[in-house]
């Protein structure tokens, strides 16, 4: 699985298949800078220093312009790492959290 490294904190987490940068960090106990987590507000925008990401859902051009993308910015709440990546965050932008991701679907009842 790809490794996400966050500078300058040098935090390293794995990116489970199909998970965005923000989700992978949350699963590993880190809150990065974000607000909507749905690609709408641009709060999470960050320099992608190394590696490649893909976007599995459509992006709004007004949130991350083509020019910003070619200048090396990514949208971590939508960006899914393709290989090992390095992104930059502000000095104090990561804070430890305990976050729950959605529950998997429950088995039908009664369960034999």
Partner 1 sequence: MSVIRLGYVHIRVTDLARARAHYADTLGMDVVAEEANRVYLKSWDEDDHHSVVLEEGGVGLVKFGYKVTGADSLADLENRVAAFGATSVRMSKGDNVGIGDGLRVTLPSEHTLELYADVEYLGTKVGKLNPDPWPRDGIRGIGVPRINHALITAEDPAQLERFFELALGFRPAERLVGGDEPDDLVGSWMFCGENPHDIAFVKGPNGKLHHFAHQIDDWSALLRAGDVMSMDDVPIDFGPTRHGITRGGTIYFFDPSGNRNEVFSGGYRTGPDFRPITWTMDQAARGVNYTHREIDQEFLSVVT
Could you give phi then psi for residue 22, rounded to 5 degrees? -60, -45
User: In Å, what is the CA distance from 64 to each residue of 14, 67, 78, 103, 109?
Assistant: 25, 8, 11, 30, 45
Residues near ligand FES (CB under 6 A), total: 13
Give 102 or 110: the residue with its C-beta nearer to ligand FES: 102
Residues 17-76 that bind ligand FES (CB under 6 A): 34-37, 39-44, 63, 75
What is the DSSP code (8-state) at residue 57?
S
CB of 53 to ligand FES, least distance (A): 13
Q: Which does 44 bind (CB under 5 to 8 A by kind): partner 1, ligand FES, none?
A: ligand FES
CB atoms within 10 A of CB 8: 11
User: What's the min distance (Å) between Cβ of 35 and partner 1?
Assistant: 4
User: DSSP character for 17?
Assistant: T
Q: Which residue has the tokens 């991701």?
A: 101
Which residues in this chain contact partner 1 in the complex, by CB under 8 A? 35-41, 43, 57-63, 101-102
Where do contacts with ligand FES occur on this chain (CB under 6 A)?
Answer: 34-37, 39-44, 63, 75, 77
């Amino acid at each position: 699985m790809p490794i996400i490294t966050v500078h300058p904190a040098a935090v390293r987490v794995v990116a489970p298949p199909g998970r965005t940068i923000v989700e992978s960090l949350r699963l590993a106990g880190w809150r990065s800078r974000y607000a909507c987590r749905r690609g709408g507000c641009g709060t999470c925008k960050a320099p992608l220093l190394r590696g490649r990401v893909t976007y599995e859902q459509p992006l709004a051009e007004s949130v991350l312009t083509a020019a910003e993308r070619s200048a090396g910015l990514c949208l971590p709440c939508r960006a899914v790492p393709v290989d090992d990546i390095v992104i930059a965050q502000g000095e104090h932008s990561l804070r430890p959290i305990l976050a729950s991701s959605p529950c998997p679907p429950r088995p039908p009842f009664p369960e034999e």
